[in-house]
Amino acid sequence: RYGYPRTIISDNARIFKGDKYVRLCQSHDITTYYSPVYHQQSNPVERRIQELKKVMRALLHNQHRKTNWDLQLPRALQVLRGRVNAATGVSSSEVLLGYRLPREGEWEIPEYLAERQRKQARPTRLENVIRR
């Protein structure tokens, strides 16, 4: 489940083109793709960084001291990991874990626990997406 990736998409930095990196990818059957230099937005990592910046701006908007941004980072990551992808209909955490992450305080609500147990007992929406 958590082994080596099948594919890595990276920018054109020297580190991703070096012999050691290329040999490592080949030895683990990892296919590498490089985003065009002239169009960094095509790199999914760059898009995720932009999304993270947007969420961080929203979380820090009402704070008087914006120097504590690092304290908001876990919350921002939770928001991003719980966001449903329009193409798949599931969140990235659901793809990785097989269930929806609880929101703040939700893990203590009996309805959430019951819902999670029900979902574990039957095929999930994620399994249906994978079967397609």
d(CA 64, CA 51): 22
Query: Does the predicted model carry a pTM greater than 0.95?
Result: no
**In angstroms, rounded to a whole number, what is the distance separating the alpha carbons of residues 66 and 25?**
40
Q: pLDDT at position 100, please?
A: 79
Output the DSSP codes for the chain. --S--SEEEE---GGGTSHHHHHHHHHTT-EEEE--TT-GGGSHHHHHHHHHHHHHHHHHTT-S-GGGHHHHHHHHHHHHHHSBPTTTSSBHHHHHHSSPPPPTTGGG-HHHHHHHHHHHHS--HHHHHHH-
Buried b (16+ CB within 10 A) or exposed e, 72-103: beeebebbbeeeeeeeeebbbbbeeeeebebe
Per-residue pLDDT of the chain (132 residues), as tens digits, is 678 999 998 888 888 999 999 999 999 999 999 887 777 667 778 888 889 999 999 888 877 666 788 888 998 999 999 888 888 888 888 888 887 787 777 766 667 667 766 666 655 566 666 666
* CA dihedral of residues 3, 11, 74, 50 (deg, nearest 10): -140
